[in-house]
Amino acid sequence: MNALFDALLRQHGVQPDRHGEAHVTCPFCGKEPKRGQVHFSFSERGGKCFVCGQGATLSKLAELWGHGEPRPAPAPKPRPARRAVWNWDALVAQYAANPRRLEAWASYKPLPEDVIRARRLGLGTFPKSLSKCQHERLMVPLYEDGRCVGIRGRSLGCSCGRWLSPLGSRCVLYNAEALSRAAGRVVFIVENPVDALMLEQLHPHVVAVATLGVSMWQDTWTDLLRRCGARRVVVAYDNDVPGNGGTAAARAAWQARHGSLPMPGGIRLVNRLLEAGIPARLYDWGDAPVGADIGSVLQKTA
């Protein structure tokens, strides 16, 4: 064994792995070794950090480490604060000022004009730097703790994706602020933010929130539900296989096409909430058509 390599091993109190590499704190950036990950290591050929990219010969490492005397590694450099990707409020104001927005929203779902204005629902296209989709969309601002943190856009016919968010948008529980008045009430969890608004308009005694998808749930949202004091939580994802499970025929067709069935997001969420001690149940779609959502049911009963 190389005498200098052996001296450095003794200095750090480590042994080389089966590849002849010894893993220690990087003398350049201060990244500490972690089991199962390669950060900085040295061998008889020299040392290399796969975090900061610095490398050195054994003699250079010996010099850095004080010729056998351990030298404290420098503290890692603090990462600069991440700047906001976009001024979301300015973008939302632009969409809300579109003179065709009321007509466009009316053609999608029957939301009252005062709700469209209060929720700052708009119409427009995503900035080119934030999305590949450059088609006009119905725009829904996303808020967290009273601050706009992104946008969700609904397609008006393009094939880029029914619901999209531009780069930098945060994943939020839409209408989460309504949980402050959920004590003793029934809370509905749906996919579509517009369906949540419609549900509260037509049934003022319930509270509705939207997850913007069936696999977005976060532990902090479970805590919100646990603290809100709801009498019951009803998970009403869409009537399809990924949502609440769909019909037996839909599941058979899915299995024939894909080879296996996924765990429906609605069932998975109900189980998760029940484990947390929250009184939750799955919405019963009955004989509703495959693909139905709460919004389509509300439009028929309105």
Instruction: Examine the domain organization and report whether 28 and 123 are in the same domain.
Output: no
**What tens digit of pLDDT does each residue of 193-222 get?**
999 999 999 999 999 999 998 888 999 999
Give the full edge-to-edge strand order of the sheet including 22-23.
22-23, 40-43, 46-49, 55-56
pLDDT above 50 (res 70): no
- The answer as to whether 74 is a domain residue is no
Instruction: Examine the domain organization and report whether 145 and 221 are in the same domain.
Output: no
Give the mean model confidence (pLDDT) for residues 41-45.
88
- The answer as to whether 78 is a domain residue is no
Q: How far apart are the first and last CA of the chain?
A: 83
The first and second tokens of residue 263, run together, are 């765990």
- The answer as to whether 234 is a domain residue is yes
- The answer as to whether 212 is a domain residue is yes
**What tens digit of pLDDT does each residue of 138-161 get?**
999 999 999 999 999 999 999 999
Q: pLDDT-based confidence at 270, cuts 50/70/90? A: very high
Instruction: Examine the domain organization and report whether 296 and 178 are in the same domain.
Output: yes
Instruction: Examine the domain organization and report whether 154 and 184 are in the same domain.
Output: no
Give the mean model confidence (pLDDT) for residues 243-255.
91
Helices in the chain by DSSP H: which ranges? Answer: 3-12, 58-64, 88-96, 101-108, 113-118, 193-202, 219-228, 248-258, 265-275, 294-301
Instruction: Examine the domain organization and report whether 280 and 252 are in the same domain.
Output: yes
Instruction: Examine the domain organization and report whether 8 and 105 are in the same domain.
Output: no
Q: Residue 75's closest CA among 12, 11, 31?
A: 31
Q: Return all residues near 295 (Cβ < 8 A) that are at least 6 apart.
A: 109, 192, 194, 195, 198
Q: pLDDT-based confidence at 84, cuts 50/70/90? A: very low
**What tens digit of pLDDT does each residue of 160-199 get?**
999 999 999 999 999 999 999 999 999 999 999 999 999 9
Instruction: Examine the domain organization and report whether 167 and 190 are in the same domain.
Output: no
Query: What pTM, to 2 d.p., does this model score?
Result: 0.71
Domain of residue 39, residue span: 3-64
- The answer as to whether 203 is a domain residue is yes
The count of domains in the chain is: 3
Task: Give me the pLDDT at residue 78, please.
Answer: 60
**At 100, which CATH number?**
3.90.980.10
**At 288, which CATH number?**
3.40.1360.10
